[in-house]
Amino acid sequence: MDEREVDPGAADQTPALRLAAVLLTGGTLHFAVPRFFDGIIPAQLPGPARTYTRVSGIAALGIGAGLSVSRTRRTSAALACGFFVAVLPAKVQLAVDWWPKGRVAATIGIAQLFWQIPLITESIRAHRRAPAPHR
């Protein structure tokens, strides 16, 4: 088979690669504009918001990198699902904080919250389509 041809039996890895792009971009933004992310960390969490910003940025970069590699894709997709669930409180906080700031801000806040649903379902899809681990 010519290396440019796609193996029809190979699972489509597009969901994993899309998620990798989202996570690598988001993880980079955690370090490029940390104040934004600090501002959506729920105040009820113990410790400084910047710690949560850094940890979630590192997690996003690590998971995104893992999704980019065939060998680690299955595990990374499962981690991505857990990560997207774990950041839901921050997305709720963003929606609550932006609600009173006007129609555009409220819409963005709500969209960020509901954006988690396709991210979670896409991570499940990526996990199912990832190559099986070799033993």
Q: How confident is the model at residue 131 (pLDDT cuts 50, 70, 90)?
A: confident
CB 121 within 8 A of CB 7: no
pLDDT at 99: 87
pTM of the model: 0.84
Radius of gyration of the chain (CA): 17
Distances (CA, A) of 98 to 86, 87, 91, 102: 20, 17, 11, 8
pLDDT tens per residue across span 54-92: 999 999 999 999 999 999 999 999 999 999 999 888 888
Average pLDDT over the chain reads 88
Assigned token pair, 73: 């894709």
